[in-house]
Amino acid sequence: MLLTPGLEAYSSDKEHKMSKLLEVKNLKTYFHTEGGVVKAVDGIFYHLDKQEIIGLVGESGCGKSVSQLSVMQLISTPGEIVDGEVIFEGQDLLKFEAHGPEMRSIRGAKIAMIFQEPMTSLNPVLTISQQLTEMLELHLKMSGEAARARAIELLGMVGIPSAEDRIDDYPHQFSGGMRQRVMIAMALSCSPEILIADEPTTAVDVTTQAQLLELMKDMVERFQASLVIVTHNLGVVARYAQRIYIMYAGRIVEEGTTKDIFGKPRHPYTMGLLKCIPRLDEEEGRKLVPIEGLPPNLINMPPTCAFLPRCSYKVGRCFEEPWPQLRHLHDHHYISCYADTEEMRSEPAAR
């Protein structure tokens, strides 16, 4: 199975703009806690093209999940979206009321999200049929019969055997992997343009994870939608994503095509990550090189680069100036760094 070659799609910036499905500019989401302000998302810029799969990668606390919740305007106190634009279909979604009719018509119908925990995302007291048809009736204004037929069809598409019998079951009667499939069916039921998968691999086994990811990829192709994979698992994005954004402490530190990120990583954090994860195909006796230090404390962060305490490429500028803006390297490869990191080839695969 080959990855769709992606570079040809971005030949010129102008063309690029026209095919952009979603554009996020300077998004900032802060949380007001007892200890201080947590800048969970602190000014990120990214975009999503039509029929594209992108990865938003980072460890816990980097803001990747919060950023997607912000796009969907699912942030509630003590969190607050303090700045930014989310341009979708020519409109800035952040200008709409979070609970207003515009957002409600977009959520689920145009932009859908699959959450990490299938057990808590499905309503335990409603049957699958009720939950699926609710979406169809609400957004697509289908009649009860038509909605049910479509729901059964969807369940079949995501690989639930004997869909007509199982549709009236309750969530607890399904296994974890099945529930995730139901979530995928629900998310796709109204043929959204964008599907956001938040940590889709965490709560399930490896082989189930492989099934679900393949399913998501197939479905997204079938429905001609775009997919945003939010994860900490670099392997998953290596396999599925065409472009990747690496996040750290609320900002994007590196962005580029998948091959650039893995083949020519330039940000110290990206390089550090690649050096410290074990790989199935690594040479025997390979020593992992951990990233020193601790994950950043997001409360009352200093204005300088958040990765500075752990960075082995730091230069004088890093201590004096605020967090660097994204710098263009070449083509679609950007990093947020003052140092001139040499190009580092990622580890060659074991023969």
Partner 1 sequence: MSLQQDEAILDIRDLKMYFPVTRGLLRRKVADVKAVDGVTFKIRRGETLGLVGESGCGKTTIGRCVLRLYQPTSGTIFFEGEDISSLPESKVRRIRSKMALIFQDPYSSLDPRQNAGSIVGEPLKIHQWVSAQAEYNDRVEHLFRLVGLDPSMEDRFPHEFSGGQRQRIGVARALACEPSLIVCDEPISALDVSIQAQIINLLEELQEGIKGLTYLFIAHDLSVVKHISDRVAVMYLGHIVEITKSRTLYENPLHPYTKALLSAVPIADPFVEEKRERIILKGEVPTPLNPPPGCSFHPRCFMAIPECRQAVPPLHDVGGEHEVACIRV
Partner 2 sequence: MENHTTSKEFQEALPRVSEWRRFRRVFFERKVVVFGLAILVVLVFTAIFATWLAPYDPYKPGVGKSLLQPCQEHLLGTDLLGRDTLSRLIYGARTALMVGFISVGVASIIGIPLGIIAGYFGGITNMIIMRAMDALMCFPMLLLALVLAAVLGGGIQNVIIALSVATIPGYARVTHGLTLSIRENDYILAQRAMGSSNLRTMAGHILPNAFPPLIVLMTMMLGNLILAEAGLSFLGIGINPPGAAWGAMVYDGYRYLVRNPALWLAPGLAIMLVVFAFNMVGDGLRDALDPRLRGLL
Q: Which residues bind partner 1 (CB under 8 A)?
A: 1-3, 59-60, 175, 177-178, 205-211, 214, 232-236, 238-239, 258-259, 262-263, 272-274, 276-282, 284, 286-291, 294-295, 346-347, 349-350
| Alpha helices (runs of H) in the chain, residue ranges in sequence order | 13-18, 64-71, 101-106, 118-121, 128-140, 144-157, 163-166, 176-188, 206-222, 234-240, 258-263, 268-276, 316-320
Q: Of 6 and 192, which CB lies nearer to partner 1 in the complex structure? A: 6
From CA 127, how far away is CA 132, in angstroms rounded? 9
Which residue, among 315, 316, 339, 319, has the nearest Cα to 327 in the 3D structure? 339
The DSSP-derived string for 42-105 is EEEEEEEETT-EEEEE--TTSSHHHHHHHHTT---TTEEEEEEEEEETTEEGGGS-TTSHHHHH
Q: Of 113 and 273, which CB lies nearer to partner 1 in the complex structure? A: 273
Q: Of 5 and 35, which CB lies nearer to partner 2 in the complex structure? A: 35
Q: Which does 18 bind (CB under 5 to 8 A by kind): partner 1, partner 2, none?
A: none
Q: Which does 125 bind (CB under 5 to 8 A by kind): partner 1, partner 2, none?
A: none
Q: Of 289 and 349, which CB lies nearer to partner 2 in the complex structure? A: 289
CB of 139 to partner 1, least distance (A): 30
Q: Of 184 and 291, which CB lies nearer to partner 2 in the complex structure? A: 291
Q: Of 202 and 297, which CB lies nearer to partner 2 in the complex structure? A: 297
Beta-strand pair 243-248/226-231: unpaired
CB of 283 to partner 1, least distance (A): 10
Q: Which does 325 bind (CB under 5 to 8 A by kind): partner 2, partner 1, none?
A: none
Q: Of 126 and 276, which CB lies nearer to partner 2 in the complex structure? A: 276
CB of 312 to partner 2, least distance (A): 11
Cβ atoms 250, 299 nearer than 8 A: no
Q: Which does 100 bind (CB under 5 to 8 A by kind): partner 2, partner 1, none?
A: none
Q: Which does 25 bind (CB under 5 to 8 A by kind): partner 1, partner 2, none?
A: none
Q: Which does 209 bind (CB under 5 to 8 A by kind): partner 1, partner 2, none?
A: partner 1
What are the Cα distances from residue 157, in Å, to 28, 137, 219, 299? 37, 19, 8, 45
Cβ atoms 253, 337 nearer than 8 A: yes
Q: What tokens were used for 196?
A: 């956001």
Q: Of 133 and 257, which CB lies nearer to partner 1 in the complex structure? A: 257
Q: Is the dihedral of CA 275, 239, 223, 123 positive or negative?
A: negative
CB of 281 to partner 2, least distance (A): 23
CB of 146 to partner 2, least distance (A): 44
CB of 350 to partner 1, least distance (A): 8
DSSP state at residue 221: H
Q: Which does 3 bind (CB under 5 to 8 A by kind): partner 1, partner 2, none?
A: partner 1
Cβ atoms 27, 80 nearer than 8 A: no
For binding to partner 2 (CB under 8 A), which residues are involved?
A: 289-290, 292-294, 297
CB of 17 to partner 2, least distance (A): 45
Cβ atoms 245, 41 nearer than 8 A: no
Task: State CA 300 to chain mean position distance.
Answer: 26
Cβ atoms 270, 310 nearer than 8 A: no
CB of 111 to partner 1, least distance (A): 26
Residue 284's CB: how many other CB atoms inside 10 A?
A: 5
Q: Which does 263 bind (CB under 5 to 8 A by kind): partner 1, partner 2, none?
A: partner 1
